[in-house]
Amino acid sequence: MDQKKSSLSASLCFATPVVALAAALVPPTAVAEEDMSKPEIKVERKKEPNGREQLYMFIDGVKVHETDTTKQPLPPVVTPGEEPGDAPSDAIVLFDGTAESFAANWTDTKGETSKWKVVDGAMESVRRAGYVQSKKKFGSCQLHIEWASPSKVEGDGQGRGNSGVFLMGTYEIQVLDSFQNQTYADGQAGALYGRSKPLVNASRKPGEWQSYDIIFHQPKFDEDGKVVKRATFTVLHNGVLIQDHVVLSGGTGWAGPHAVTEYKAHPDRLPLSLQDHGNPVRFRNIWVRELKD
Ligand code: MG
């Protein structure tokens, strides 16, 4: 036992200079970045009128439990939707089930009238009509969207109920009939295509309405087009967490059987788009809340 202890302390003694050397090798910028990621916490001790000493904590310069709303503004009030999935009061509704809403908010990728159909309160992908894109452009956002693969099951693998939700028209969350329909994991419903498989398969049966709730933070590029911040995704499929704050390592575009595209610099705001992959997939109840980075 003692022998073990002494050999442990000997190895620690030996390890110390190695640790010190490793610390010295850490670039100073990395240390600074780590410090910046933490809130600035300041603690003050003050004497109360009753003589007791009290601790006051400040986070990012604001007193904890501050009741003065000029110093700590209250969050804006948002009226939530009546039912789960309904748009809250501060959402931008991109499709409410009507042809008017479709025409007002969506075009094809050339900005012209899309050949997608509005059927039974849903917008439906039409083979060879191409993608649809929102007229409004978005960056980081919370997106709610409902979709249904065709109730008549046709094809298999990637050929069954394939569509996609493209944040910024670029980063695809796969839409696919993944109910008893096997394909590669990073290409099934809820995958960040080619980059991140869903944690679980929460698919409903073909023809049944399903939902995605997506929290997306956009990537950032410097003026030379280099990625300085990667995109992140959190996704719930039918209320089930399937992407848990995933840091997207690059693009999600098809680039051959075993490859996807890399990041490519793009503007800060771009339309949301939905894929025409040749299958009549339907969408409804689409709304967005813009997020600050
Ligand atoms: Mg797809």
List, for residues 269-287, the tens digit of each pLDDT value: 999 999 999 999 999 999 9
Q: Output the pLDDT for position 19.
A: 44
> What pLDDT, in 10s, does the model give residues 132-180?
999 999 999 999 999 999 999 999 999 999 999 999 999 999 999 999 9
Rounded CA-CA distance 119/205 in Å is 20
C-alpha 83 – ligand 1 centre gap (Å):
29
Concatenating the DSSP letter of every residue in 175-190 gives E---SS----GGGSTT
Q: Domain locations in the chain?
A: 3-31+81-290, 35-75
Contact by Cβ (8 Å): 116, 124? yes
pLDDT tens digit sequence for 73-92 = 999 999 999 999 999 999 99
- The three-state secondary structure class of 276 is coil
Alpha carbon of 135 to ligand 1 centroid (Å): 21
Q: Which fold has domain 3-31+81-290?
A: Jelly Rolls (2.60.120)
Rounded to the nearest angstrom, the distance between the alpha carbon of 127 and the centre of ligand 1 is 13
Indicate if the pLDDT at residue 211 is higher than 80: yes
How close is the Cα of 280 to the center of ligand 1, in Å? 12
Task: Give the model's pLDDT for residue 40.
Answer: 80
